[in-house]
Structure formats: structure tokens, C-alpha cells
Amino acid sequence: MRTDTPRSALPARDHLLAATADAADPAGAPVLDVVVPVYNEEKDLEPCVLRLHDHLTRTFPYAFRITVADNASTDRTPQVAARLAAAMPRVRSYRLEEKGRGRALRTVWSHSDAPVLAYMDVDLSTDLNALLPLVAPLISGHSDLAIGSRLARSSRVVRGSKREFISRAYNLILRSSLAARFSDAQCGFKAIRREVAQRLLPMVEDTGWFFDTEMLVLAERAGLRIHEVPVDWVDDPDSTVHIVRTATEDLKGVWRVGRALAVGALPLDRLARPFGDDPRDRVLKGVPGGLARQLVGFCVVGALSTLFYLALYSLFRLGVGPQLANGGALLVSAVANTAANRRLTFGVRGRGGAVRHQAQGLVVFAIGLALTSGSLAALGAASGSPSHGTELAVLIAANLAATVLRFLLFRAWVFPDRATGADGADGADRAVMGAGTDRNDRTDRNVMGAGAAADTHHEQGNAR
């Protein structure tokens, strides 16, 4: 998996101001860059670009650009793209020497200067009236990604039963295996904010048709907001997509991504967003960052851990004395509690530092054991042979005290705020990552060619 992304969190989403984007100036930096990936589309390319350009000119209130991403076409597609780019100031053309829709999108999106990036299939199966609703939540700062959905209740779709079955079966697989909540992974009508793309794309490994799915699954798991737009969609009977081969590659991708998520191999915490875009949400005077969210998460995990602990204690108590039952139940629940708080409360993902965190968690466990065991010992000394209900009541009170202490130790010692080391080790890591990113960018720019302002760009080699 590719993980060469900046280590700091994403900034808050900002509304793109209309004053900064002059829709009447074709030479200015666009707000929206619509990429049309093509492979051997000499017949459909020109009608697509002309129709899309006309629609955007008439209806889109911001500056825009249309980028034709030709990935290794062997027909006249490159010549058609070059001619369109020469004739229309808002049209550009990129040429890649390797096939792959995902590769084409990653390359163009990575080098675009537009704050909102989109793509659509060259057949324009999706009604273009959905384009503005697609990108509006990204422009306003409400969402991070947006997708067109053919499976939404209000969508109107015309396609054969075979493709309908395959599409629904594939999305059912995603829901059952990767717990995906978005409704349509493969509709060729999507958009993303550029700062999100800069963090997310290096994590996406696929270069073909599974690129969309992988991008959406990782974004959703990272907690990014995905906006869905119901679309009207008419199937292209001349589509050149090889269904069986594509389905096979998609299933391989589902397995690869599922395995990476299961072992925590992806640094999804680098895609974290601040809560809202109000400055009051970012800095609260005298309140450590994330305290409220961490308290809620810790309370939820703590409540579940307590129920788990009590169930284990009652089970162990059937065969051993109260001290052994308490120690065994507390040990097992402490390991589970540390793992749950590590991921859910304090947002630590991946295997790095997991052993150290568990070791520190066991120290916290020892403190909790001393509190609860001491309480049991005091109860036994005071009443001789207390009832099971009395034991549980005393343990609950002791666990409440241990819980408060556990949260303070977790927050200050086991999982300290990583932002506090921004000028130290983390800063050094970011410098290393930034240097690597700069080298990659320079390499990509050299591959793309020196004529950055030209209408046709040539990339050779692997864009990844």
C-alpha cells in the first residue's frame, strides 16, 4: 500500500469564494477541473467535449477546465484531443503512455491547480444536469467527496438486466465485506476536493477500474464526508468495458483493501478533519483539543468494557475465588479496553507502537487491580462473607474511581496528543515525508515534460 502522505491532519473545509474565481476569464485558475479519461475514443471524444463545454459555459457559475486524459490510445484519440485543446482555451489534453483509468485520474488530479476535481465517462451516460449538484457541496465546504448514484431511490436508470444485476451484486459485496455505506461505487461521475485528493490518492494502489471503489472505501473509513447525488443514467450499448475481467480485478481489490484495513496498514488518521469550519470548533480557550470527543468515546468504551468485565467476573466466579476471578476478568477486559480506546477514542491506527501501548495499558490495569482488589479485601475484612450482589456493588464503585484515573493516564501518558510534538519528532517525520513528496513531484513534472503550459502533455513511465 502507498502511504507517502503528509502526517498532519487535513485543514477545515473552507467555502470557495466566488470573488476568487472569474468564470469569464478562461486563462485564470479554474475552480473546477473536469477530467474525461479516454482510451481509443476517437469517435465519441469530440461530441463529448463540445457538449460538456457548452453545458458548463451556460450553467456553471465558476471558472472551469475540461481535461482530456488519454491513457495510451492507439487510434486517433490523441490528435482529436490536441485539436480540441488548441481550439478551446478551457480544454487541455494529457497523454499517458500506460493504460488505466485510475492511473489517468491520479496523474491529472495530482497536477491540477483547481480546488475541485471531477471526472466523468466519455459516453456522458449521466445527465449533465447533475454536475452542479455534484460539485456544489465541495465548493461550499460541506463535503469532501461527491458521487453520482444510479441506485438511489429517485435515480432514473436505463440499462440491461445483466448490468443491473452485476452492479447491485457488486455493491452488495462491498457492503457485506468492507462495510461500505455508499450506494454506488462504479458510476463514472465523481468529484473530490483537491486537498483531500493530495492526501488520499497516494494511499490508493489500484490503477484501473477498482480505483473508484478503493478511494471511496478509504475515504469513508477515514471519516470523510461523501455526498451522494441521484442521477439519471442511460447505458451505453457500445461500452468497451470487459465485464468479466473487470469483475475479477474488482474482487481481488476488495480482498486486498479488506486485508489492509483489517491489519491497520493504512494511516487513515492523516485524513482526519477538524469538527466544522467555525474557528470556535478548532480552538477552545483552556480546553485541550479533542477533549469532548475523547470523553464521549472513552465513556462508551468504558461502559462496554464494564459490562464485559462483570460478565467475565461472574463467569470466572463459578470456579474460583473472588480475587482470582477479579484479576482474570480485569486482565482480559483491560487488553480489550486498551485496544478499543487506542483506535476509537484516541484515533491511533496501524500497528506502530501497539505493543508499547498495551504494556502501558497493563500498568494502568495494575493500578485498577490494586483499587478493586483492595476494595474486595476491605469488604471481606468488614463483613466476613459478603453476598455476590454486595461484591458487584463494591466492584462497580471501585471501577468508577479506576475509570477516572484510567482516562487521565491514557490521555496524558499512553496516548498523548501527537500535535504537541509538531516541532519535534513529528516535525522531522513531516520534513522527511515532504522531501520525498517533493522528489516525487519533481520526477512527475520531468516525466510530464517541460511544456507545462502547452495544451498537450506527455507522461512516460509509471505515474505512480
The model's confidence at residue 281, banded by pLDDT at 50, 70 and 90, is very low
Rounded Cα distance between 189 and 126, Å, is 7
User: For residues 112 and 277, which has the higher predicted lDDT (pLDDT)?
Assistant: 112
Residue of 177, 180, 173, 220 whose CA lies nearest to 196: 220
Mean pLDDT of the region 71-98: 95
Nearest to 237 by CA among 159, 290, 322: 159
Q: Which amino acid is at 167?
A: S
Longest dimension (CA), the chain: 95
* pLDDT 10s digits, 152-164: 989 999 987 877 8
How high is the pLDDT of residue 4?
Answer: 55
Q: Which residue has the higher pLDDT, 91 or 177?
A: 91
User: SS in 3 state form for the chain?
Assistant: CCCCCCCCCCCCCCCCCHHHCCCCCCCCCCCEEEEEEECCCCCCHHHHHHHHHHHHHHHCCCCEEEEEEEECCCCCHHHHHHHHHHHCCCEEEEEECCCCHHHHHHHHHHHCCCCEEEEECCCCCECHHHHHHHHHHHHHCCCCEEEEECCCCCCEEECCHHHHHHHHHHHHHHHHHHCCCCCCCCCCEEEEEHHHHHHHHHHCCCCCCCHHHHHHHHHHHCCCCEEEEECEEECCCCCCCCHHHHHHHHHHHHHHHHHHHHCCCCCHHHHCCCCCCCHHHHCCCCCCCCHHHHHHHHHHHHHHHHHHHHHHHHHHCCCCCHHHHHHHHHHHHHHHHHHHHHHHHCCCCCCCCHHHHHHHHHHHHHHHHHHHHHHHHHHHHHHCCCCHHHHHHHHHHHHHHHHHHHHHHHHHHHCCCHHHHCCCHHHHHHHHHHHHHHHHHHHHHHHHCCCCCCCEEEECCCCC
- Pick the most confident of 198-207, 232-241, 382-391: 198-207
Q: Which residues pair with 35 in a beta bridge?
A: 67, 119
Mean pLDDT taken over the chain: 81
Per the model's pLDDT, the better-predicted residue between 411 and 449 turns out to be 411
Asked if residue 279 has pLDDT above 80, the reply is no
| Mean pLDDT, rounded, for 286-294 | 63
Residue burial 216-227, b: 16+ Cβ < 10 Å; e: rest: bbbbbbbebbbb
- Tell me phi and psi for residue 84, to 5 degrees: -65, -40
Which residue, 374, 365, 363, is CA-closest to 397?
374
- Please report the sign of the dihedral spanned by the C-alpha atoms of residue 271, residue 60, residue 104, residue 226: positive
pLDDT category at 462 given cuts 50, 70, 90 is: very low
Going by pLDDT thresholds of 50, 70 and 90, the confidence category of residue 39 is very high
pLDDT attached to residue 349 = 73
Per-residue model confidence (pLDDT) at position 294: 82
User: Is a pLDDT exceeding 70 seen at residue 29?
Assistant: yes
Q: What is the pTM of this model?
A: 0.60
> CA 47 to CA 156: how far, in whole Å?
23
Confidence of residue 229 (pLDDT cuts 50, 70, 90): very high
User: Per mean pLDDT, which of 167-171, 197-201, 265-269 is the most reliable?
Assistant: 197-201
What is the pLDDT at residue 366?
86
| For residues 29-45, average pLDDT | 94
Which pLDDT score is estimated for 9?
65
Residue 178 has pLDDT above 70, yes or no: yes
SS (H, E, C) 408-423: HHHHHHHCCCHHHHCC
The share of the chain scoring above pLDDT 70, in percent, equals: 80
| CA atoms 135, 140, 145, 151: torsion sign | negative
Residues 408-440: pLDDT tens digits?
888 888 888 654 433 333 433 333 334 334 434
Q: Is the pLDDT of residue 370 over 90?
A: no
Residue 411: predicted pLDDT: 85
Kindly report, residue by residue over 44-65, the tens digit of the pLDDT: 999 999 999 999 999 999 999 9
Of the ranges 14-18, 200-204, 341-345, which one carries the lowest mean pLDDT score? Answer: 14-18
Grid cell of 211 as nine digits: 480505483
Which amino acid belongs to residue 69? A
Distance in angstroms (rounded) separating the CA atoms of residues 22 and 52: 19
Give the residue with greater pLDDT, 266 vs 191.
Answer: 191
Which residues, in sequence order, are CB contacts of 288 under 8 Å at separation 6+? 411, 417
